[in-house]
Amino acid sequence: MENFNLTKNYNVECEWKDKNEGFKHVATLFLNGIKQFKTSVSYINRTWERYEFESILKKVVDLEFKNEIDHGYFLNIVKNYK
């Protein structure tokens, strides 16, 4: 499991799980330590990410931050993480 601190208030816990065909990344978004939602992305073989969990973090941003300004702000954090 890996924890990504997006801001002082938002963090995302990510983990990978084995599947019969491939694997999946699971992400849980927390706001001030309170679970907001959980989502996942399935893969058949390896992903082409700049860092592990990049795609699932982008999905979290797309699902949670609908406001254009917030979406752009958090997407920029995810794109430049690490």
* Band (50; pLDDT cuts 50, 70, 90): confident
10 Å CB burial of residue 11 (0-12, 13-18, 19+) is middle
Amino acid code (one letter) for 6: L
Q: What is the pLDDT of residues 1-42, one digit of tens each?
A: 999 999 999 999 999 999 888 899 999 999 999 999 999 999
Assign 3-class secondary structure to 6-51: CCCCEEEEEEEEECCCCEEEEEEEEECCEEEEEEEEEECCCCCCCC
